[in-house]
């Protein structure tokens, strides 16, 4: 899961389909900006009619879908003239639910290439966002993915041709050459060249099979030895790592590209660039990066950049905490806190090593339970008692999740307090709140604070998202409705309760 995916909030513009549909028979599939508008009913036909069909599964109103839309259309328009065997298509999955299900679409947009009408085995087109990358990506699927560099002159000009170039040196017998070709397909933003020629080998000073990443601005080159990778994915990870700086600062541009590195682990340094200790702290972090590069992606988050606020909330970083170091396992969404305050090379290094050795413990934090938490109209929950109270079969628990510093939350406290007073005498109803910046709870949501969940009695797994208005009347009405339903249900058994509960917990 991408920890940043949910923060992307980009503006969108609506584009209107032009109605220039010619009335040939059979009627052509409708196009919108050079992209076929695919539906459940015409999808099979589109596959049949097009040797290469690049399909974008999207949600019209999602920000990330909107940003890709234009680039996708530009690429479609260009290739329409050059390569007629390639077609672009799009599926709006809130309308074409069956197609969304068939291709297991979970993120938007998701792009897949269908070749020769094969509906079963499309190729994922990941991390490609610009029109030129779409074109390169497709060209590398259809033709050779790397250019041959057969002469020393070509070599010299090739490595100067772009800011980043990747050259594979493989003598014919090199058995990992295929990984190189495959990696080139997955990294369409950069030029890939292949050297097999002895003259060029010795001109470049190479003897063994290796992959080199050249960076013009750094006049640096990074060498990946053949024994460092055992698969295409290993090689992609290493190449992508060397293309990036040792430490990547998180910002609008990199918030997307850092996820292009196929790795499950990010390490983040939270520090203010304007603080006195910054240089030292950064250097220590960078030294560790040098050692663990390729295993973890090293990211700096400037805490003196207000636009980063969402990330601090997500990692529960407050100014008091900084500088702070956290590791995130993207597969499990587990966060790990460096078990030390000082960001020294030694501390970062042993944190990384312990994590990679599987010895680091994910941090589940909780505030202390307040003494008389049960007596107040609004019960104050903490990590330690959250599960017993919320996921409790005997009580209907309605919880407000808040951040203490959030204005919107502060505004709603009096309303919530009033709701608490209304239900103070109901033995089966608990109105509660929890500071989710200070307590780790199983329920993983990345909504803007405050957010609300209802945990019905009769189930110890279910959490229902509240999406209504944030007024006393609306909260009360919602609660009453649920209490009535619960009364009705308590006379019956609810066999699919576990299923619901699981969905609720996994909702992100």
Ligand X SMILES: *[C@@H]1O[C@H](CO)[C@@H](O)[C@H](O)[C@H]1NC(C)=O
Interaction residues for ligand X, span 322-361 (CB under 6 A): 329, 331-332, 356, 358
Distance from the Cα of residue 29 to its chain's centroid:
33
# binding residues, ligand X (CB under 6 A): 26
CB closer to ligand X out of 84 and 428 = 428
Q: Which of 218, 410, 484, 499 binds ligand X (CB under 6 A)?
A: 484
CB closer to ligand X out of 376 and 422 = 422
CB closer to ligand X out of 18 and 496 = 496
Using the rule CB under 6 A, is 15 a contact of ligand X?
no
Using the rule CB under 6 A, is 485 a contact of ligand X?
yes
What is the C-alpha to C-alpha distance for residues 292 and 296, in angstroms, rounded to an integer?
Answer: 6
Q: Which of 231, 394, 442, 490 binds ligand X (CB under 6 A)?
A: 394
Which residues does 129 contact at the CB level (< 8 Å), separation at least 6? 67, 68, 71, 256
Q: What is the smallest separation between the CB atom of 102 and ligand X, expressed in angstroms?
A: 27
CB closer to ligand X out of 318 and 329 = 329
Using the rule CB under 6 A, is 272 a contact of ligand X?
yes
Q: What is the smallest separation between the CB atom of 488 and ligand X, expressed in angstroms?
A: 4
Q: Which of 264, 408, 477, 503 binds ligand X (CB under 6 A)?
A: 264
What is the C-alpha to C-alpha distance for residues 200 and 184, in angstroms, rounded to an integer?
Answer: 20
SS3 for 160?
A: helix
Using the rule CB under 6 A, is 160 a contact of ligand X?
no
Determine contact, residues 362/374, Cβ cutoff 8 Å.
no
What is the C-alpha to C-alpha distance for residues 343 and 284, in angstroms, rounded to an integer?
Answer: 7
Token look-up 């709603």 returns 412
Scanning 65-73, 126-134, 280-288, 388-396 for contacts with ligand X by CB under 6 A, the matching segment is 388-396
Using the rule CB under 6 A, is 427 a contact of ligand X?
no
- 3-state helix vs strand vs coil in the chain, percent to 5: 35, 20, 45
Q: Which two tokens stand for residue 30?
A: 């409708």
Give the x-and-dash track for 296-325 against ligand X (CB under 6 A). Answer: --------x---------------------
What is the C-alpha to C-alpha distance for residues 249 and 236, in angstroms, rounded to an integer?
Answer: 21
CB closer to ligand X out of 121 and 425 = 425
Burial track 322-342 (b if 16+ CB lie within 10 A, e otherwise): bbbbbbbbeeeeebbbbeeee
CB closer to ligand X out of 116 and 394 = 394
What is the C-alpha to C-alpha distance for residues 318 and 337, in angstroms, rounded to an integer?
Answer: 14
What is the C-alpha to C-alpha distance for residues 316 and 335, in angstroms, rounded to an integer?
Answer: 10
CB closer to ligand X out of 60 and 356 = 356
Nearest to 336 by CA among 319, 313, 318, 359: 359
Give the x-and-dash track for 78-107 against ligand X (CB under 6 A). Answer: ------------------------------
Q: Which of 82, 217, 372, 493 binds ligand X (CB under 6 A)?
A: 217
Q: Which of 90, 248, 284, 395 binds ligand X (CB under 6 A)?
A: 395
Using the rule CB under 6 A, is 251 a contact of ligand X?
no
Scanning 14-22, 175-183, 238-246, 386-394 for contacts with ligand X by CB under 6 A, the matching segment is 386-394
Which residues does 299 contact at the CB level (< 8 Å), separation at least 6? 247, 248, 249, 250, 258, 266, 267, 268, 269
Using the rule CB under 6 A, is 150 a contact of ligand X?
yes
Using the rule CB under 6 A, is 428 a contact of ligand X?
no
Using the rule CB under 6 A, is 405 a contact of ligand X?
no
Using the rule CB under 6 A, is 488 a contact of ligand X?
yes
Q: What is the smallest separation between the CB atom of 73 and ligand X, expressed in angstroms?
A: 22
Using the rule CB under 6 A, is 388 a contact of ligand X?
yes
Interaction residues for ligand X, span 436-465 (CB under 6 A): none
CB closer to ligand X out of 100 and 501 = 501
Three-class DSSP labels, 58-114: ECCCCHHHHHHHHHHHHHHHHHHHHCCCEEEEEEECCCCHHHHHHCCCCCCCEEEEE
Nearest to 501 by CA among 389, 393, 363, 362: 393
What is the C-alpha to C-alpha distance for residues 452 and 466, in angstroms, rounded to an integer?
Answer: 5
Q: Which two tokens stand for residue 289?
A: 């990066």
Q: What is the smallest separation between the CB atom of 502 and ligand X, expressed in angstroms?
A: 18
Scanning 27-35, 117-125, 268-276, 308-316 for contacts with ligand X by CB under 6 A, the matching segment is 268-276
What is the C-alpha to C-alpha distance for residues 57 and 404, in angstroms, rounded to an integer?
Answer: 39
Q: What is the smallest separation between the CB atom of 67 and ligand X, expressed in angstroms?
A: 19
Q: Which residues bind ligand X (CB under 6 A)?
A: 148, 150, 163, 196, 217, 264-265, 272, 274-275, 304, 329, 331-332, 356, 358, 388, 392, 394-395, 422, 424-425, 484-485, 488
């Amino acid at each position: 899961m991408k920890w940043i995916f949910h923060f992307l909030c980009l503006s969108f513009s609506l584009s209107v389909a032009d109605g220039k549909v010619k009335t040939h028979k059979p009627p052509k599939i409708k196009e919108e900006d050079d992209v076929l508008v695919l539906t459940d009913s015409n999808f099979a036909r589109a596959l049949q009619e097009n040797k290469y069909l690049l399909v974008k599964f999207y949600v019209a109103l999602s920000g990330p879908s909107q940003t890709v839309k234009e680039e996708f259309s530009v690429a479609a328009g260009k290739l329409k003239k050059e390569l007629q065997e390639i077609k672009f298509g799009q599926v709006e999955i809130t309308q074409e639910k069956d197609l969304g299900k068939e291709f297991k679409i979970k993120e938007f947009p998701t792009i897949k290439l269908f070749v020769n009408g094969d509906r079963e085995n499309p190729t994922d087109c990941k991390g490609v966002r610009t029109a030129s990358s779409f074109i390169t990506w497709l060209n590398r699927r259809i033709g050779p993915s790397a250019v041959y560099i057969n002469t020393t002159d070509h070599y010299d000009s090739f490595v100067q041709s772009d800011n980043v170039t990747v050259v594979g040196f493989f003598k014919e017998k090199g058995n990992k050459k295929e990984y190189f070709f495959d990696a080139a397909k997955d990294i369409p933003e950069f030029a890939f060249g292949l050297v097999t020629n002895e003259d060029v080998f010795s001109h470049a000073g190479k003897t063994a099979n290796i992959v080199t990443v050249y960076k013009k601005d750094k006049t640096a080159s990074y060498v990946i030895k053949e024994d460092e990778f055992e698969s295409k994915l290993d090689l992609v990870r290493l190449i992508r790592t060397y293309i990036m700086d040792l430490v990547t600062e998180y910002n609008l541009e990199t918030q997307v590209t850092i996820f292009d590195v196929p790795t499950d682990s990010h390490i983040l340094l939270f520090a203010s660039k304007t603080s006195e200790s910054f240089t030292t702290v950064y250097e220590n972090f960078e030294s560790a990066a040098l050692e663990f590069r390729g295993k973890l992606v090293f990211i700096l988050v400037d805490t003196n950049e207000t636009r980063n606020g969402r990330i601090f909330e997500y990692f529960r970083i407050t100014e008091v905490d900084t500088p702070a170091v956290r590791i995130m396992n993207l597969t499990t969404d587990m966060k790990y806190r460096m078990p030390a305050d000082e960001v020294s090379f030694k501390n970062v290094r042993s944190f990384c090593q312990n994590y990679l050795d599987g010895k680091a413990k994910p941090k589940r934090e909780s505030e202390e339970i307040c003494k008389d938490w049960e007596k107040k109209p609004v019960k104050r929950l903490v990590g330690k008692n959250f599960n017993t109270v919320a996921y409790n079969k005997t009580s209907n628990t309605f919880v407000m999740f808040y951040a203490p510093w959030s204005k919107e939350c502060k505004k709603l406290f009096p309303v919530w307090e009033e709701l608490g007073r209304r239900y103070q005498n109901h033995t089966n109803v608990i109105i509660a709140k929890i500071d989710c910046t200070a307590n780790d709870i199983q329920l993983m949501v990345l909504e803007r604070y405050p957010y609300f969940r209802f945990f019905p009695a009769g189930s110890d797994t279910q959490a229902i998202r509240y999406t209504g208005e944030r007024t006393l009347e609306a909260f009360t009405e919602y609660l009453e409705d649920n209490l009535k339903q619960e009364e009705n249900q308590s006379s019956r058994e609810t066999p699919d309760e576990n299923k619901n509960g699981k969905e609720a917990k996994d909702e992100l």
